[in-house]
Amino acid sequence: MATRTLGRVAKALIAPALALGATVGLASAPASAAVWSSCDQWGNTTLNGYTLYNNIWGSGAGSQCIWANSGTNWGVNANHPNTGGIKSYPNAKKVINKTITSLGSLTSSYNVTVPSSGAYNTSYDIWDTGYANEIMLWVNKTGSVGPLGTSQGTLTLGSNTWTVYKGNNGSNNVYSFVRSSNSTSGTIDILPILKWIKDTKGWFGNVTIGDLQFGFEITSSSGGLDFTVNSESVTSS
């Protein structure tokens, strides 16, 4: 069972204030030239409106390097040991900063290439501005990984069916939506999910949605595995 801590987000948020000279283990950036790359634990940059984080935050992590051609075309080579516990969440973040009721739409499309081995999930991680509520949308998963909390049944919205989990990690509420079948490309209408949590379940009120992250929550990738976001888009109104 994957555990969830606010440390992942908190550390990412303070990354710009940290010295970025330290590396974790040994890894290499991609052979092809990229606009940006980093093997630093908290390596980060902003490209065309998205903030990219290498974000090696879990204990017992190995090495990981991130590269990017743009904010929506990027990837990592990660070599984390075959042990339990989340080691990293490399991601691209888009800031929304709108209340649920003021959003007219919030959608995202994704296309990823992921390995057939290791233990990880490909997921959206969506936060309110107070970091009291975390909404995770798992579009695929491999290996011994699972969401925090207890199952609340299934939910079908649009073209996606999810198993919903509700829990709390001691720092914030966690609402996880695990897609019924693995997908490496697709489009998610996110606003109806947020409205379902708010209006149908009453699990939170009219919160302001802040960070919308998309990336790979990696538990193990022994030997070095590649995770690639071929394309991504986030649109809101």
Of 97, 64, 51, 61, the C-alpha closest to 82 is: 61
pLDDT tens-digit readout, 182-211: 999 999 999 999 999 999 999 999 999 999
Residues 98-129 pLDDT 10s: 999 999 999 999 999 999 999 999 999 999 99
- 6 confidence band (pLDDT: 50, 70, 90): very low
Closest CA to 26 of 61, 69, 74, 67: 61
The per-residue b/e assignment along 108-137, b for 16 or more CB within 10 angstroms, e otherwise, is bebbbebbeebbbbbbbbbbbbeeebbbbb
Q: Tell me if 100 is assigned to some domain.
A: yes
Residue 5 in this model has a pLDDT that exceeds 60: no
Based on the structure, what is the number of domains in the chain? Answer: 1
In which domain, by residue range, is 157 found?
7-236
pTM of the complete model: 0.88
Determine contact, residues 55/42, Cβ cutoff 8 Å. Answer: yes
Does residue 43 lie in a domain region? yes
Summarize pLDDT for 133-149 with one digit per residue, the tens: 999 999 999 999 999 99
Q: Is residue 2 part of a domain?
A: no
Q: For the domain that residue 187 is a member of, what is the CATH number?
A: 2.60.120.180
- The answer to whether residue 142 is domain-embedded is yes
Give domain status of residue 1, yes or no. no
Would residue 177 count as lying in a domain?
yes
